[in-house]
Structure 1
Amino acid sequence: MLLTDPEVLRTESRSVVVRARVVGGGEESSVVLKHFRDDPVCGLDEWAGLLFLTQRGLHVGPRFLAGSEEARLFVMEDLGRGQRLEELLQDDDARTASGGLMSIVRLTALLHVRTLGAQSDYDSVRQAIEPRHERVRIENARYLVDNAGRLRRWVEMVGAREDPGLQADLEQLARELADPGPFLAFTHGDMAPGNSLFTREGPRLLDFEYAGMRNALYDALMWLLTVPLPEELVARADAYYRSGLSQGCYAAQVDSDYLRARATVAAARTVNVFQWISPKALERDRDWAPGFTERAALLRHLERCRFLMEPLNPVPALARTLQSLEARLRERWTVELPVWPAFR
């Protein structure tokens, strides 16, 4: 394959992404190349994820075409140009933004249903490239427990109350992250609104750097927890996703099982946010994500987590600790939570 007319799409600390035209392939024939120079694990996880999906004929992202471990580079299908969900949310058309979100929800449910329990198939792809020393969900579980001190530092610094059962609950969360049972599926791992593209063939997901086999509802956190959306739309997305997942996962049909799995991933992600954001936010607020400051992100997670754990709370001691933390932070901060332009 001979390539020409390179166009740099993105350059950052971890990787460089380039579009190039295929010589002799016609005006619209092009591919995308990704060179992962500084984080080979993320690069190889994306490589394996795209290859795994391509082999299964599951077109939820760009098809994998070729790669070189030595060069730390792989080639994938060029999905072309199109709008991303983030752009729809930034526009002023609520109907289009809502429809775009629901199409991503449908695509996510399809991804999970078609990969439920496929750990051995995924492992055969991932380990054949450059063996990964540990599965991603085990890393996620270990990080939660190993960095418990960061959450405790927040609790101590604002004068909140740590429930005596906090450590046991964190260990319980870690066990459920490591072993999600019937909810084990291949996940994208970074479902930000910017990591999607609406193409002529339909919606697709981009940037599978954090992909791997874990609790399917990890991806659903995008609309359940992290992205500020109208409550009615969140409820609709949750019901739609659950209906789609239920087509292949019996546990998703059982209220107690589904609500527990949902609460588990929401609680774990909320703890993670306090492990990622430094208590320096007590002194100065900084940007966190598009439209979000660190303080807004922390309060958003606490509020949504409290709601998601109310129907079935698997970690009551952690819930009480987070509620105390939320009360103390609301005494300190008056933060207006962001609203996407489409829903103002």
Structure 2
Amino acid sequence: MLNLVEWTRLEPWRVARARTDRGESVIVKWAGPHVDGRHTDAWRLRTEVAALRFLADDLSVDLAPRVLAEDLRAERVILQDLAPRVALDGLLRRDGVVAHAPRLEAFARARGELGAVTAGHAELYYRRRHLLGPVDPEADRLGHVTRLRRESSSQAEALGVPLTGAVERELARALDVLADPGPFLALSNGDPETNNVLVRTDGPADARLIDFEFTGFTHALHDAVCLYVPGPAWMWVGGSATLPQVGDVYRRALAVGVPQAEDDRLYGTALAAACVAFALARLSRRHRLDGRPAGDDSRAQLVTSLEAAASAAREHRALPYLAGLCLHLAEALRRRWPDADVDTAALAPYTPRRR
């Protein structure tokens, strides 16, 4: 292991920047509690090491930091320091999206490239990952599809929006698409948001993806959802005439390795399915949000997530009944929470959610 002589804790994460006795800057990451309790601390660290070595050593891909050393028994990993790159979400919050449109494009391109270069290599990744401990490829692939099959109907009915007839059939079809990705089966770091990409500010963005603790092979279009539907940090991420069409940037990058992405029908259906599934999965937060005080941004964010998913489906002329379902659910939430009756048309792209 390296001899570390200088530390700077990068709060609030279990990450620190350190300097070796040779004056090299490195990143040290260690295990610790995570808000997502699906996996143990050790599991997440082993997954990150396997994913980063898979990209760098097996595929010779320069999209993420390299692993310089690891002691998995001690639950410590030393990674390449990607400075002077900084997290894109902080730039967007500080300066607004227009100032960083090229960096947003670079983010979308990097996500598409990750899918393009890893598609078709699931067996190679899981062979490496199995060497570090047990892993369930089926659970990675299905993600929240299984829970949505089980809970979507009751979640919607609780809001007075029953799933019947064409809506129910279209939801089953959408979940089937996500559960069986075919050529779209690709690696995701499991958290494709703007806080998990580092970009340069002194020239070309030269984006790098980080935080691979929840890596797995799943439908590639899950990684495009963040370009259409607001994740936890944002109220709205919708396009604007002043911004590049980042969804198209992602699609072109993905098509280099997954030519089926050029098929409008296949791509549109899969993207709409992924966006709707993401929004419906967030409905599980409804009970928690009922207890929040009036005006809490998380309530309005759930409304805008559903409306953004509907907008993405309509934009790609796919899954019209599910688009309608999302709009009906959003209307039901607006009635339930009058404080969440926001005008999405007035929201600028990448409007932050107040915490």
TM-score normalised to the size of structure 1?
0.84
User: Shift of residue 132 of structure 1?
Assistant: 0.7
Give the letter for the 2:28 counterpart: L
- Counterpart CA distance in 2 for 1:42 and 1:147 is 27
User: Shift of residue 170 of structure 1?
Assistant: 4.6
User: Shift of residue 206 of structure 1?
Assistant: 1.7
Give the letter for the 1:18 counterpart: A
Q: Which moved more, 1:255-264 or 1:202-211?
A: 202-211
User: Shift of residue 21 of structure 1?
Assistant: 1.2
Q: Are residues 17 and 307 of structure 1, via their aligned partners in 2, closer, same or farther at CA, if it must alter by over 3 Å?
A: same
Deviations 1:115-146 (A, max 9, x none): 11111111111111112134412343323334
Paired residues, number: 328
Asked whether the 8 Å contact 2:48–2:211 carries over to 1, the reply is yes
1:268 maps to what in 2? 277
Deviations 1:57-88 (A, max 9, x none): 21111111222232222221111244321122
Asked whether the 8 Å contact 2:53–2:67 carries over to 1, the reply is yes
Secondary structure at the counterpart of residue 63 of structure 2 = coil
- The residue correspondences of 1:58-73 to structure 2 (distance < 5 A) are 58-73=61-76
Q: State whether structure 2 residue 289 is matched by structure 1 residue 281.
A: yes
Q: Are residues 81 and 215 of structure 1, via their aligned partners in 2, closer, same or farther at CA, if it must alter by over 3 Å?
A: same
Secondary structure at the counterpart of residue 194 of structure 2 = coil
2:192 maps to what in 1? 191
- The residue correspondences of 1:135-146 to structure 2 (distance < 5 A) are 135=138, 136-146=140-150
1:182 maps to what in 2? 183
Q: Which moved more, 1:208-217 or 1:168-177?
A: 168-177
Q: Are residues 268 and 235 of structure 1, via their aligned partners in 2, closer, same or farther at CA, if it must alter by over 3 Å?
A: farther
- The residue correspondences of 1:133-282 to structure 2 (distance < 5 A) are 133-135=136-138, 136-148=140-152, 152-153=154-155, 155-164=156-165, 169-199=170-200, 202-226=206-230, 227=234, 228-232=236-240, 236-275=245-284, 277-282=285-290
- Counterpart CA distance in 2 for 1:114 and 1:2 is 35
2:318 maps to what in 1? 313
Asked whether the 8 Å contact 1:285–1:293 carries over to 2, the reply is no
- 34, 38, 41: which one aligns with 2:29: 34
Asked whether the 8 Å contact 1:35–1:74 carries over to 2, the reply is yes
- Counterpart CA distance in 2 for 1:44 and 1:57 is 20
Give the letter for the 1:37 counterpart: G
- 299, 302, 307: which one aligns with 2:303: 299
User: Shift of residue 283 of structure 1?
Assistant: 5.2
Asked whether the 8 Å contact 1:30–1:78 carries over to 2, the reply is yes
User: Shift of residue 164 of structure 1?
Assistant: 4.4
User: Shift of residue 246 of structure 1?
Assistant: 1.8
Q: Are residues 98 and 285 of structure 1, via their aligned partners in 2, closer, same or farther at CA, if it must alter by over 3 Å?
A: farther
- The residue correspondences of 1:316-331 to structure 2 (distance < 5 A) are 316=321, 318-331=322-335
Secondary structure at the counterpart of residue 19 of structure 2 = strand
Q: Are residues 220 and 118 of structure 1, via their aligned partners in 2, closer, same or farther at CA, if it must alter by over 3 Å?
A: same
User: Shift of residue 256 of structure 1?
Assistant: 0.4
Asked whether the 8 Å contact 1:92–1:342 carries over to 2, the reply is no
- The residue correspondences of 1:87-106 to structure 2 (distance < 5 A) are 87-92=90-95, 94-106=97-109
Secondary structure at the counterpart of residue 41 of structure 1 = helix
Q: Are residues 230 and 171 of structure 1, via their aligned partners in 2, closer, same or farther at CA, if it must alter by over 3 Å?
A: closer
Q: Are residues 339 and 111 of structure 1, via their aligned partners in 2, closer, same or farther at CA, if it must alter by over 3 Å?
A: same
- Counterpart CA distance in 2 for 1:31 and 1:85 is 20
Asked whether the 8 Å contact 2:193–2:226 carries over to 1, the reply is yes
Q: Which runs of 5+ in 2 are unaligned?
A: 34-39
Deviations 1:121-180 (A, max 9, x none): 1111111111213441234332333443xx624x34433333246665554444322221
1:21 maps to what in 2? 19
Asked whether the 8 Å contact 2:229–2:237 carries over to 1, the reply is no
Q: State whether structure 2 residue 79 is matched by structure 1 residue 76.
A: yes
Asked whether the 8 Å contact 2:4–2:18 carries over to 1, the reply is yes
Give the letter for the 1:6 counterpart: W
Asked whether the 8 Å contact 1:160–1:324 carries over to 2, the reply is yes
Deviations 1:252-275 (A, max 9, x none): 111101101111111110111112
- Counterpart CA distance in 1 for 2:350 and 2:161 is 35
Give the letter for the 2:342 counterpart: V
Asked whether the 8 Å contact 2:228–2:309 carries over to 1, the reply is no
TM-score normalised to the size of structure 2?
0.82
Secondary structure at the counterpart of residue 231 of structure 1 = coil
Asked whether the 8 Å contact 1:225–1:301 carries over to 2, the reply is yes
Q: Are residues 298 and 42 of structure 1, via their aligned partners in 2, closer, same or farther at CA, if it must alter by over 3 Å?
A: same
Q: Which moved more, 1:80-89 or 1:116-125?
A: 80-89
Asked whether the 8 Å contact 1:116–1:183 carries over to 2, the reply is yes
- The residue correspondences of 1:123-138 to structure 2 (distance < 5 A) are 123-135=126-138, 136-138=140-142
- Counterpart CA distance in 2 for 1:305 and 1:342 is 17
